[in-house]
Chain A
Amino acid sequence: MSDEPLPGEANGSRESAETADGRNTSLGSSILKPRYLLGFLGVVAFAVLPFAGISTTQLLVLIGAFYFGMFAMSWDTVSGYTGEISFGHALFFAVGGYTSTLLNLGYGVSPGLSIPAGVVLAAVAGVLIGVPALRVRGPYLSLITLVAPLILLQVFVIYGDIFGGELGLSAPTGLVSAPDFELVVLANYYIGFGLFLAIMGLLFVVTRSDVGSVLTAVREDEDAVAAAGLNVAKFKLFAFVLSAAVGGLAGAVFVHTPIGSPRPSQLLALTVSIEVLIAAILGGMGTIVGAGLGGVFFYFFNDVLNQQGWTLPVLGVGVDEASLLIFVLLTMVVVYALPQGVFPWALRSGRRALGRARGQQVATDGGTVDGDPPSGDGSTPLERATDRFRELLEDDE
């Protein structure tokens, strides 16, 4: 599949979708695609934001949003790709955050060392959750993940003298120290933003590699993957440990920022696990970028809602009270109307609009029928891998 037009080919977009895999296209041509340009502009916009008249308070919220975005991407790595929905991802976030805090407060370990320790311990937690995941199938795994953070929370409450129980621990040393608080916030903003981009890059590369394709195939048909001679268990465990380590990293750094603190309500409560799921579904499961943006949006918008003074018409309560309810309803609408999430939908509509602007004939599935092939780019990696394995899956029946 190359840039050759496919005249009269109704499902041209599906065929050419393969070119969207970075591997098949040369980097030079793909980097000029509108969506990459848009992405680049987005990065630039975030980079100059602190100098665009934004207040320190808003910057603080954005710092939190970056970490929540990283956390959402880590959820997406395991749940969006392998289809093993984790209902308790906050476990990893909390293990990272609490480990780093305890080492820092209890033993005076500097964040530079306590954060890696948090990442390692979160990865170990990933193994502990991942191994049962290999033994059971179907809904059992989701039950385990739903229950694991509840157990951890119980342990935190029982050993309240160490873990601070429901109230949590006091804040550990900050990442940067400067006499001026605004400077500290600014530095934290760029650390958070840089880490967000780095994690997005890492997970993007991993999920677009052959490993990502295998994970997607596992989601579609585990037996087919096993029949192809691949060790399903190994790949699932890899996804779990990678996801846990990234989630742990996000949690461990988050507690050292001015806005994050080691408390169950921020790191471990059931709502945290649900919020990350909502964020990733809103953004688009199985896309990494969508999940990351969904996380940033969720955190930021949640804060905006919490600042609002107006009340909801029927219930007669403030919007700030009802923010989670609003998100839950919004997510239900998205799951119904745009099952793939907002980000893939936006890409597809953008591509369709572009095609129309160029006067191309638009195929019913959103691809362009002739002319410059659209390089498939509303399709998620999940769809592309499904397409690639479709023949195999259908033979199977």
Chain B
Amino acid sequence: MVAVAPILVNGLVISSLYALVAVGFTMIFGVGGTINLAHGAVITVGAFAAYSITSAGFGVWAGALAAMVVPAVFSVLLYKGFAERRRDNVVVVMILTLLASIGVEELVRIVEGTQPRAIPPLVAGTTNLLGTTVQNNLVVVFVLSWVLIGGLFGFINYTNTGKAILATSMSTRGAALVGIESDRVNLYTWAIAGLLAGLAGLFLGSYQTASWAMGRDPLVLSFSIVVLGGLGSIRGSLVAAYVIGFLEVITTSAVDPRLSGLAGLVVLVAVLLVKPEGLFGREFTEA
């Protein structure tokens, strides 16, 4: 008999982290039409920004601030350096961001070594939930993730900047016609995506550990998530993040731990073959 409660708890926590990563990834694609393969490296940047701050003696909340600011700035630099200048060529942007991501990983590996690093938990202690003891840290991570995503929804639906982002993702040309500057909208998108991914890095680092290649698995899983949800659809990413997150937790804890990562990949290939536009996706945004 497989214990259901740990699967439920782990599934909820890991899914909420995947959602943070995938929402940013899908926004960048939906708005700018570019695939940011350095999105995984942004996670690493966030985690190590937090790690350096906390190990320098500052509190974990100062680390959390660093995990928001540094990755957002890094993401903006990626946009300014690669995506904006080479925006006419999606493939060149993919190559450049992939190279950037390998560069970041190598830099972290060289400077910090391959040893996993622990980031202190945001909150100490445990709570009893559904008959199992759960670390308060995980509860906080789960709640914070939902607060952030809820905030993002509010931002997109109720502020002018948010509406401009939404408009650009629907039709760049249409948005431009009503006076929305797509450059600035793209910049906001990359900054938001960087912030969310950086925080996911902090949470991953305090939930598991931080290491130089920690961004790879979430990045690959976010491919599965955004393809399943529909490239460019935020709502789709949220739903798919939970589907993939739970599939992952169920296969590794109930079937075989060696299958880690495989469920998401199989889903990805199946979706691409059967329904490439995903659950909520449009085929492509209008140029």
- A residues contacting B by CB (< 8 A) are 83, 85, 87, 132, 135-136, 138-140, 142-144, 146-148, 150-151, 154, 157-158, 270-271, 274, 277-278, 281, 315, 317, 321-322, 324-325, 328-329, 331-332, 335, 339
Give complex CA distance A274, B100 in Å. Answer: 12
Give complex CA distance A325, B106 in Å. Answer: 6
Among B99, B259, B261, B265, point to the contact of A278 (Cβ < 8 A). Answer: B99
Interface bits B225-260 vs A (CB < 8 Å: 1, else 0): 001000100000000000000000000000010111
Give complex CA distance A101, B262 in Å. Answer: 25
Q: Which residues of A contact B106 (CB under 8 A)?
A: 322, 324-325, 328
Among A274, A281, A321, point to the contact of B102 (Cβ < 8 A). Answer: A274
Q: Is the CB of A332 within 8 A of B273?
A: no
Chain B proximity of A322: nearest CB distance (Å): 6
Q: Is the CB of B220 within 8 A of A157?
A: no
Q: Is the CB of A329 within 8 A of B103?
A: yes
How many B residues touch the partner, as a band? 35 or more
Q: Is the CB of B223 within 8 A of A143?
A: yes
Among B98, B111, B216, point to the contact of A87 (Cβ < 8 A). Answer: B98
Segment among B88-96, B134-142, B154-162 that sits at the interface with chain A: B88-96
Chain A proximity of B31: nearest CB distance (Å): 14
Chain A proximity of B268: nearest CB distance (Å): 6
Q: Does B148 contact A (CB under 8 A)?
A: no
Give complex CA distance A332, B268 in Å. Answer: 30
Return 25 A-B CB contacts under 8 Å, by A number: A87-B94, A132-B272, A135-B272, A135-B273, A136-B272, A138-B284, A139-B35, A148-B269, A151-B262, A151-B266, A154-B260, A154-B265, A157-B258, A158-B262, A270-B216, A271-B102, A277-B95, A281-B95, A324-B102, A325-B106, A325-B107, A325-B110, A328-B106, A332-B100, A335-B92
Chain A proximity of B221: nearest CB distance (Å): 10
Q: Is the CB of B261 within 8 A of A150?
A: yes
Q: Provided the pairs A87-B98, A132-B273, A277-B95 are in contact, do residues A150 and B103 lie with their beta carbons within 8 angstroms?
A: no
Q: Is the CB of A143 within 8 A of B227?
A: yes
> From DSSP, what is the main secondary structure of chain B's interface residues?
helix
Q: How many A-B residue contacts, CB cutoff 8 Å?
A: 98
Chain A proximity of B262: nearest CB distance (Å): 5
Give complex CA distance A107, B284 in Å. Answer: 50
Closest to B103 in A: A328
Give complex CA distance A135, B103 in Å. Answer: 33
Q: Does B276 contact A (CB under 8 A)?
A: yes
Q: Which residues of B contact A328 (CB under 8 A)?
A: 99, 102-103, 106
Q: Provided the pairs A146-B223, A270-B216, A325-B103 are in contact, do residues A85 and B91 lie with their beta carbons within 8 angstroms?
A: yes
Q: Is the CB of A139 within 8 A of B261?
A: no
Chain A proximity of B219: nearest CB distance (Å): 9
Contacts A151-B262, A325-B106, A332-B96 aside, 10 further interface pairs with beta carbons under 8 A come to A140-B227, A142-B91, A148-B269, A151-B265, A151-B266, A158-B258, A158-B262, A277-B98, A321-B110, A325-B107
